[in-house]
Each structure stands twice: as C-alpha cells, then as structure tokens.
Copies of this chain bind each other. A is one copy, B any other.
Amino acid sequence: MNLRELSRQLNLSQTTVSRALNGYPEVSEQTRKRVTEAARRYNYSPNARARTLATGRTMSIGHIIPMSKQNELVNMVFTDFIAGAGLVYAQQGYDMTLRIVADDGKLAAYRSFAERGAVDGVIVQSPTRDDPRIDYLAALDIPFLVHGRASEITKPYPWLDVNSKRAIETATRHLIELGHRRIGLVNGHEVMDFASRRREGYCAALTAAGLVVDEALTRSGDMSEPNGYEAARDLLAQQDAPTAFVASSIVMALGVKRAVEDRGLRIGRDVSVVCFDDDISFLPNAGETPLFTAMRSSVRAAGQRCATLLIERIKAPQAPPPTELWEAELIRGTSSGPGPFA
C-alpha cells in the first residue's frame, strides 16, 4: 500500500493524506482521523526511499570504523561509543549507517558518504593532529562532528574531546607526589592527537615540578598490550630505570604490568603505574574494575553527547561549530583484580 492507493481509498488527494499523516496543522481533525485510521487499517507505512529523495534527508548518520588488517579486530573503543550514539539516534528518529573499512580506505569512505548524500552527517573518530578528514568534510559541506581534536587544524570545526593533557598531567603529578623522580611514559603514536596531548601533560607535570624530561624514558607506539610490554621492558632494562609509569591506555598499562612482574617487581610496592584511557578496547587480563566500568560508561557518554551535538548541527548548520572539552576525573585504582592501579 502506498500513498496513492491510500489516498484513492479515501477519496482524498495525496497531499492531504500526506499532510494528515505528518501532523501538519492545516488538516481538519476529522479528516486527520479518517486518514490515520485508514492508514492503520491498510497497514500503510510511507516508503523510506521515496521520502528520502523527496526531503533530501536520509535520517541517518554515518560512522566509519577502521579495521586494520593486522589486528583483524575492530578496536572496541568504537563499541561503547556507538552504543551511546545509537541510543540518541534511535531516540531522535535517526539510524546509524556503519561502514567497516581498511585503514587506508577511511577517507574514501567519508567521501562516498558525503558526495552521494548517503547520510545526513558523519562522526569522525580518533583524529590525527592534522587529520585530512576535517578539511575534507568541511569542503564537502556536510555536517560532521569530531570526537577528539586535531591540534594542527586552525579553522574552527565542531568537536568534543576529553582533556587528555590535564588528565595525564594530574596522573603524572600524582606519581611525583608519591616521590617518583624517574617516570616512564608509555604512549600511543603521537600522530594521534590525543597521544600528543598526553605527552604534553606528562611534560607539563614534570616541568612544573622542576624535573627534566628525559626522552629516554618515553616511548610511543601501537596501543597494544604487547607494545606496552616491550616499551616497559626496555625502559626497565635501562640503567637508572623508571620507578613509575604513566601509561596512555589500559591496554598498554597491562603490558607495563606484565613487564614489571616479569622482572620480579611488584606493582604498588616497587613500581607505580597510572593510566588514562578512554580507549576501552578489549583488555587482555583486565578485570571489571571500577576503572574499567568508568571508562566504558565514559565512552558511551561521549557517544551520546557527540550524537546529540551532531543532530543539533544538522538541524542548525549555520550555528557556530560547537566545541566541548570534558574534564576527566582521575580514577585511582582500588581494584582488587588484576587491573592497572597506582
């Protein structure tokens, strides 16, 4: 049953039926009732494809998820984020259009979404410091929202980010206050914006305490457990090894932990480890610590907020780009499980 048939049954024009069903005020209540009843009786439901063409809106938001060939696994950061965003979309009548792509296909995927008008807006996740997607999307003139920031991009664009720098700064200061003087940094790739901000926080805390930043105590690389392990192992093997670590993610912290224990040291006694993360990827050996729970719900909250902001932007594209900086609470590990802790 489509609109034409329905309107014929009712002896009304398509226009009127459409208006009645879409809640336009100029329809008499009586007609509206007739129409809605008939619609229900004939089980009419408007064709989404046609509506989409007629209105120019798809009522769906694009998300692109990179899946690197090597790890073969989708970074689960995206899971909770998507769950949060999806809740908001559902509530607002949007669907999520998801595409899984290889890392090198990301840009093309955004382009395809935007140019073909397949979605009404897109979310950009995990930007690099100079992420090309941002200019690209701005030029294509499609509403978007970045989860994170790209510090090298100066033109205003809409983003929501968590204050990585401050969080790591606080964490590092915490270690300094515990008496540590040689503190290792096990960071992600610093082309990633958040990773470079985390280094800034680390450096800021050291400097503020009158300590010098020793490059030999910092490492950056894949945010994986094995890489955290290797980094910490190397750092611990140095003479004058660090007595504490700042890890840039839980996953890496777990690698650090393993390296520490491999040397026969004990975390919390011989070595302190703190970490910050809104990357709640699958965690080898991570327990359901309060930390972990907090991470998950924090990412979900970010997803919700990003979705909300994006939808607002879709509805009011002229408004100045929203920017929102979240202050992360420093969560001290009180875990009784094998999670990372201070």
Using CB atoms and an 8 Å cutoff, list the residues of chain A in contact with chain B. Answer: 43, 45-50, 52-53, 56, 58, 60, 65, 67, 72-74, 76, 79-80, 82-83, 86-87, 89-90, 95-101, 112, 115-118, 225, 282, 284-285, 287-288, 296-297, 300, 337-338
Contact = CB atoms under 8 A, between A and B. Distances in A.
What copy number does this chain have within its complex?
2
A82 B48 CA distance: 24
A83 B100 contact: yes
Contacts of A73: 80, 83, 296, 300
A116 to B, nearest CB: 4
A86 B97 CA distance: 11
29 contacts: A45-B112, A46-B116, A47-B117, A48-B117, A49-B49, A49-B58, A50-B53, A52-B52, A53-B53, A65-B86, A67-B87, A72-B297, A73-B80, A73-B300, A74-B80, A76-B76, A83-B100, A86-B98, A87-B100, A89-B99, A90-B100, A90-B101, A95-B97, A95-B99, A96-B98, A96-B99, A97-B98, A284-B288, A285-B338
A67 B83 contact: yes
B45 A49 contact: no
A123 B118 CA distance: 21
A58 B59 CA distance: 14
